[in-house]
Amino acid sequence: MPYLFTSESVSEGHPDKVADQISDALIDQFLAFDTESKVACETLVTTGQVVLAGEVKSKAYLDVQKIARDVINQIGYTKGEYMFDGNSCGVFSAIHEQSPDINQGVERQNKEDQGAGDQGMMFGYATSETDNYMPLALDLAHALLIELAAIRRENNEIKYLRPDAKSQVTLEYSDDNQPIRIDSIVISTQHDDFDSEEAMLAKIREDIIGILIPRVKAKYPKYAHLFNDGIKFHINPTGKFVIGGPHGDTGLTGRKIIVDTYGGKGAHGGGAFSGKDPSKVDRSAAYATRHIAKNLVAAGVCSEVLVQVSYAIGVAQPMGIYVNTYGTSKVGLNDSEIAKKVEAIFDMRPYAIETRFKLRNPIYSETAAYGHFGKESKTISKTFISHDGNSVTKEVELFTWEKLDHVDAVKSAFGL
């Protein structure tokens, strides 16, 4: 029988995402000036305050205060009335050197023998229900907030928006697991103060339904048929939302792992991404398993798949690879047989992952809001300025794990 499935997203101004973006900006700066940097950086943000903590092994020296302030200002926290402002907030750094006990398990004389930076299991997922092989509910939840942020920055059609926001989309699926329609949409957006709460709620509801939704439908026409007159809208359901961002809630790096991945579809190994250099398999192997899953579905091996890999700290070869096609295999093989072929196609040693996806480049700030997956792989130019005024410009390829560059190899291996 039909069923409902829900995914949520949060904006770049959500306190946890502010923390993620600061942590990943630090990663990019370290890698821009020293590609061999080993970094694990956590960020806490609260009223008027940023706390940086973590472990680093790098030749680069950073002005971490300036980096944090630049990120906060870019997000849009630029006014004292927000009680969190990039120009005036305090920034405290407790970053120290990485433990040599950990480092000795990762670095090897032969780089190909590089051990995993930690133990754990990582998951990648892909589905054919969208063009970017992402779960539809999450894709829509991200789209709503990406467009809402664009409206905020334009400051034209809606002028009262503040940076913090959340969305949630509930889809109805048919018996054969196909999305039929949008059942409900939840939008909570921070806003300037209004004279009347009743007038405020009416105005925000009118603008979200009358301005945001049409823009999303126009920008993503492939999803327009899912919108219908029966959608249940919950717009700022708690009422007033003036106090938000890090003043409303403390934010921490790594607390939005489901928003960052697949919106509750598939599975998650528990490890966050932001603030970690690619020697940490929590991040790099999660990217690699997404790449495997996406290429399997694109090649026609299955229409939905979950891929798991697991590691022991300091060991290069993974403990094992697991595949679940949810009964959608199209190649006459069971999931165990598919997993064995996957092992032969994709080298999952940490150093191989780093080199395959060019992960020792400063590519991480772009991942820290609106999900690490489902984005277009593209090459851009980025310029970084050191604490002493020196600058470096790098051409970097973003979201390399989203490329369908192994489809031919997969087809060949499976006889497709």
Q: What angle do CA 120, 279, 123 make, to 5 degrees?
A: 40
- The answer to whether 119 is a known ligand-binding residue is no
Hey, how many other C-beta atoms are within 10 angstroms of the C-beta on 87? Answer: 11
Q: What angle do CA 62, 66, 67 make, to 5 degrees?
A: 70
- The answer to whether 166 is a known ligand-binding residue is yes
- The answer to whether 229 is a known ligand-binding residue is no
- The answer to whether 14 is a known ligand-binding residue is yes
| Tokens coding 165 | 């926001």
- The answer to whether 165 is a known ligand-binding residue is yes
- The answer to whether 276 is a known ligand-binding residue is yes
| Tokens coding 211 | 């301005």
- The answer to whether 57 is a known ligand-binding residue is no
- The answer to whether 280 is a known ligand-binding residue is yes
- The answer to whether 25 is a known ligand-binding residue is no
- The answer to whether 240 is a known ligand-binding residue is yes
- The answer to whether 98 is a known ligand-binding residue is yes
- The answer to whether 36 is a known ligand-binding residue is no
In whole angstroms, give the CA distance from residue 285 to residue 278.
9
| Tokens coding 151 | 């409206």
| Tokens coding 8 | 């949520």
Phi/psi of residue 123, nearest 5 degrees: -125, 145
- The answer to whether 241 is a known ligand-binding residue is yes
In whole angstroms, give the CA distance from residue 3 to residue 1.
7
- Going by C-beta distance under 8 Å and a sequence separation of 6 or more, which residues neighbour residue 199? none
Biggest alpha carbon–alpha carbon distance for the chain: 67
| Tokens coding 184 | 């409900």
In whole angstroms, give the CA distance from residue 36 to residue 222.
42
179: which strand partners? Answer: 173
- How far does the chain reach from its first CA to its final CA, in angstroms? 33
Annotated binding-site ranges for K(+): 42
Annotated binding-site ranges: 14, 16, 42, 55, 98, 164-166, 240-241, 249, 255-256, 272, 276, 280
Annotated binding-site ranges for ATP: 14, 164-166, 240-241, 249, 255-256, 272, 276
Annotated binding-site ranges for L-methionine: 55, 98, 249, 280
Annotated binding-site ranges for Mg(2+): 16
